[in-house]
Structure 1
Amino acid sequence: MDYNSYRAMCEASLEHIKRSEKSIIKTLQNQQKQSMDEKRQRAERNENILRTLERIDSQATALAAKTERLKALKVGMFSMKY
């Protein structure tokens, strides 16, 4: 094998390696982007869940206060009759 054909073979091999590396880098970048997107979606979903739970807790507190008020009124009404 002469020098020129050896050099051409090495350059072709180097180009193949470069293409492979670029492909691997692109794949890793896509995986990282997908992972970041999934992380963002999880964070948004968790925030929505927390807001919903806070709203439910607030409604439960208001309902408990109304229930206590109604109990007090009921007790007051029965004590007035008798």
Structure 2
Amino acid sequence: MAQVPVTQTARKMLTETVIQAKAERQLSWAAIAANSGLSREFVTAALLGQHPLPASAAEAVGETLGLAASEIGLLQAIPIRG
């Protein structure tokens, strides 16, 4: 997985988008992770900006949440933590 230069602001905005989509669609973290092939805990942490998702999982989660292609790509970027 390549490191992509992503600002903390962009990643925080994506986290807000994820939380909003989760609420609007009335989804649980388990439902979001269901088609990803990964654990609920791993997917939740990734969606909250702790680590990247593999491409296939990002696609599955993005489809569930109705994310744009650019947002799905951002889920695959290694976050900046400081």
TM-score (norm 1): 0.25
Structure with the greater alpha carbon radius of gyration:
1
Question: What is the TM-score with the length of structure 2 in the denominator?
Answer: 0.25
